[in-house]
Homo-oligomer: A and B are copies of this chain.
Amino acid sequence: MRNVLLKIQYDGSAFHGFQVQKEDVTVQQTLQDALVTLFGQPVTVTGCSRTDSGVHALWYVAKVTFNGNIAVEKIPYALATVLPKQLSVIDAAECDEDFHPRYDVVSKTYIYRVYVGRFLNPFESGYSWHCKFPIDVDKMNKAAACFVGKHDFKGFMASGSSVTDTVRTVSDCSVERFGDILQISITADGFLYNMVRIIAGTLVEIGGGKIDENDLPCIIASGIREKAGITAPAHGLFLAKVDYGKDVFSKDER
């Protein structure tokens, strides 16, 4: 059996998340079906993250296990002939049998996009959260720095999640403005369920003056979900990078 890592991009609007479900179209199912069409045999697909319905990916890593002699660099081209236009394989590389795309992650980076234009922008509406109230980016940035470090993020996890170890280390959290887009970037060794969307919602509420930025350290320390901000909508969220602490793909990519 061969083990190959795929670097993929997808428009989350077209999928009900990554993981296979009974009824709905998911990334994993679409990828599996394409691989079966291509190789004429069952293929196992393991993802680096269970992204939610509607969440987008600029850099997602999936491991596929199959029999076949296709040259690894030809896999993205071959898959392009059978995949829908909302899903693209942009790199492929052989990997060890025991490499796990989720458990071997050293850090992941998410981007959350907020659109602050006065009116709806038809080209942004599927790829950002439209916030029409005045937002202070400096306040957001000062608050973002409070998330950096090793913290118990219990208050920034969707209620109902069964995870018990809620300590995560955030290595970067910052906000940049590009025209009418605010881009929140966050890198951590792992994320709790809805953690980025709750952090984004909290930062936007701080920027909008609904939550006082000076209260944030206490809000984090409290571990109480209700004290944090709202959960920002899924369609503003992008998985932007998956880091394994080493180059798992070829270096010659454009």
- Please give the residue numbers on chain A whose beta carbons come within 8 Å of chain B beta carbons, in ascending order: 9-11, 56, 76, 80, 85-90, 117-123, 125-127, 180, 254
Contacts and interface: CB of A to CB of B under 8 A. Distances in A.
A80 B10 contact: no
A110 to B, nearest CB: 16
A21 to B, nearest CB: 20
Nearest to A83: B120
Contact of A127 (B80, B89, B123): B123
Copies in the complex: 2
B119 A89 contact: yes
Contacts of A76: 119
Contacts of A117: 254
Given A180-B254, A254-B180, A85 B123 contact: no
A85 B9 CA distance: 24
Contacts of A86: 122, 125
A119 B11 contact: no
B122 A87 contact: yes
Contacts of A88: 119-122
